[in-house]
Amino acid sequence: MDKVLRSIKSLIPESLFRIIAPIYHWKLAFLGALRYGFPSRSMKVIGVTGTSGKTTTVEFLHAIFSGAGYKTASMSGLRFKILDREEPNMLKMTMPGRLRIQKFLYEAKLAGVEYVFLEVTSEGIKQFRHKFINFYAALLTNLSPEHIESHGGFENYRAAKAKLFNTAPIHVLNGDDENFGFFNKIPAKKKVVFRLADYPKDLKINLAGEFNRMNAVAASAFAKSEGIKETVIKESLEKVKSLPGRMEFIETGKDFKVVVDYAFLPQALKKVYATLKQDYQAKNLICVTGAAGGGRDKWKRPFLGEVAAQFCKEVIVTNEDPYDEDPEEIINEVVGEHNFLKILDRREAIKKALTLAGDGDVVVVTGKGAEPWIVA
């Protein structure tokens, strides 16, 4: 059915499709839910949204609720998990299409799952991928500018995120976020507020950075509200050793460290670099970075270069999902007036970074995380 609808879509002129797009996306969401019997009604589905930290928070939630003995499932930009069965997300999108989501929920239902954790994006909401999912709770990690061109401004981007909270009776909100007031005004049957100050002094998670401690606090706050004991939460979080492409340290056998992280926004990149400098006392940062194409947040490109120049001794700017744009032009926008190395081939860029690293240095590869492909 999905292929048939997409074939029909391809026959419609783009100018006309923009007008009828909301109807198309709504119907596709309804047909997906109808085909699989509205499976979310049988489970507690938690939508996790925000600008950064969604995937990590979903992983933390899955670990905690599994550790507490619940049957759990999760869908994120990293992987799809139902109980102990998992597969990598190779769909080149964080939040899959409506039929794929409903099929996943149906399979989770058949497996007897009680809690489902879904990573929900603003682009997904814009295309009604969240429709006809019976959300039990909505969790906001944080909010900062992203997808500005696509949504036509930050206010529209924030409003898209808010649509998820209009569908869920329980709201889990970041009390430290500057947009807390906006989301706190949305009515809810129950509100759970978390702050970084809630992070327990005796909790030792294995993921570096204050931002990951905040993700742990977010997951913990919802778990506590569901009656899970703090001892179970602590034990479950500390069992999460690492996540692919999320402040992932790669063993090299050398006298320098290599870290891979998904950071692709200036504010996220700054947090990664600052963490490695402060918490790991990196002598120098050797940084491989870039920016995605396809008209995605072009505003951020020079800012990525500014952040890299602030923290990194050596910067190599390389290709990262150019889509329909010229990758060399994207690289030049990141480089700006800085004296950075420009290496189009991503593998060669990483190899070069490794040759530049010395004792006590950290090679930081950002933007792609665990994604093994280039979208061109």
Computed from CA positions of residues 126, 128, 129, 130, in that sequence, does the dihedral angle turn out positive or negative? positive
CA distance 14 to 20: 10
Q: Please give the structure tokens belonging to residue 375.
A: 């979208």
Same domain for 262 and 324, yes or no, is: yes
Nearest to 36 by CA among 86, 109, 124, 97: 109
In Å, how far from its chain's centre is CA 343?
Answer: 27
**Tokens found for residue 99:** 């039929």
Looking at the structure, tell me whether residues 198 and 341 fall in a common domain. no
With respect to residue 376, please indicate whether it lies within any of the assigned structural domains: no
Q: Strand 248-250 and strand 190-194: pairing?
A: unpaired
Domain extent at residue 78: 2-238
Answer yes or no: are the C-beta atoms of 323 and 298 closer than 8 Å. Answer: no
Please state the domain count of the chain.
Answer: 2
Predicted pLDDT at 22:
73
CA distance linking residue 366 with residue 332, whole number of Å: 17
User: How many Å is the Cα radius of gyration of the chain?
Assistant: 21
Tell me the three state secondary structure of residue 106.
Answer: helix
One domain, residues 98 and 201: yes
Residues 180 and 317 occupy one common structural domain: no
pLDDT of residue 7: 56
Residue with tokens 């039929």: 99
CATH number at 66 reads 3.40.1190.10
The predicted structure's pLDDT at residue 3:
54
Say how many Å lie between the first and final Cα of the chain, rounded. 27
Residue 196: its pLDDT value, please? 97
Q: How does pLDDT run along the chain (376 residues), one tens digit per residue?
A: 555 555 555 556 665 556 566 777 788 878 888 999 999 999 999 999 999 999 999 999 999 999 999 999 999 989 999 999 999 888 777 778 778 999 999 999 999 999 999 999 988 888 888 899 999 999 999 998 776 666 778 898 899 999 999 999 999 999 999 999 999 999 999 999 999 999 999 999 999 999 999 999 999 999 999 999 999 999 999 999 989 889 999 988 889 999 999 998 999 999 999 999 988 889 999 999 999 988 778 989 999 999 999 999 999 999 998 999 999 999 999 999 999 999 999 999 999 999 999 999 999 999 988 887 787 6
